[in-house]
Every structure is written in C-alpha cells, then in structure tokens.
Amino acid sequence: MAETVASDVTLLSDAKVGSTGVVEHIDLPEDVCHYLAHLGFLPGTKVEILRSAPAGDPRVYRIDGVEVGLRRDTAQHIYLRLTPNGAAR
C-alpha cells in the first residue's frame, strides 16, 4: 500500500493530451471505483489522453477502445504510469 510514487507516475489529470500510460491505481470511493472499473479503469489498463472539452475540463480519455469523459476532480485521483513517447504505439 505504501507506494513510493515513482518519477514516471503521474496523475491522470496532469498527463498531457496525446500521451498514453498505464493505470497504476485509483484512489476514489468504492462506488466510484466500481463504476470506473466497469468502464475499463483498472490497474494495468492502457489509457490515452485524447482531448479536452472546449472549456479545458472535462477531458476525454480513450481506454479499451472506448472514449470516456472525466472531470479533473475525478481524474486527479487516478494514478498513471506514463508510457515513454516512442513506445506509445
């Protein structure tokens, strides 16, 4: 549980549009976690930060071939291990 946040682990909300990463862990209430899990947000799943809504928030993430819109206040509780740029694909 006591995780030392490695340098390449970032918050989903902080990852740049266009980057990809793998979900590390999610720090949200159980019911929200449950819902997110069924949309694909589970540790080990690849996420791509697709675009942000015109107002900058919410942003659209592509996970498992599905596009999901999340507000910043949800995304900032999801930890992501960024995939190095070249190996994104």
Partner 1 sequence: MSCHAPVQDPVEPTAAEAKIAGKNGASGQKLKTVALIGPPNCGKSTLFNRLTGLRQKVANYPGVTVEHHSGKMKSIGRADLTLIDLPGIYSLATYSEDARVAVEVLTGRMPGVPRPDCVLLVLDATHMNRQLMLAAPVFSIGLPTLVLLNMSDQLAARGGSIDTLALAKELGHPVALISASQGKGLDVIPDFLLRAGPKFDSGLRPVQLPVLQSAASCRSWATQVTSRTKYEQPAAALWTRRLDAVLLHRYFGPIIFLLVVLGVFQVVFMSGQPLSDWMTEVLTRAGTHAALLLPDNWLRLMLRDGLWNGVQAVIVFLPQILLLFLFIGILEDSGYLARAALIADRVMRAIGLNGKAFIPLLSAYACAVPAIMATRTIENKRERIATILVAPFMTCSARLPIYTLMIAAFIPNMHFLGGAIGLRALVMLGLYALGFLAAMITAKLLNSKVMKASAAPFILELPQYRWPTPQGLALRLYDRGKLFVKKAGTIILACTFVVWVLSVLPAHLLLHQVGPDRVTFSDLASSYIGHLGHFIEPVLSPLGFNWKIGIGLLSSIIAREVIVGTLGTLYGVDPATHAQTLHAALRHDMTLGGAIALVVFFAFAMQCTSTLAVVRRETNSWKLPALQFAYMTVVAYVAALVTNQVITRLF
Q: Does 42 bind partner 1 (CB under 8 A)?
A: yes
Examine residue 27 and tell whether it contacts partner 1 (CB under 8 A): no
Q: What is the DSSP letter of 89?
A: -
What is the torsion angle, in degrees rounded to the nearest 10, for the CA atoms of residue 60, residue 62, residue 68 and residue 14? -50
- Running DSSP on this structure, what letter comes out for residue 64? T
Task: Identify which of residues 5 and 53 has a Cβ nearer to partner 1 in the complex.
Answer: 53
Per CB under 8 A, the list member of 1, 2, 16, 29 interacting with partner 1 is 29
Build a one-symbol-per-residue string for 44-73: x at contacts with partner 1 by CB under 8 A, - elsewhere: ------xx-xxx-xx-x-x-xxxxxxxx-x
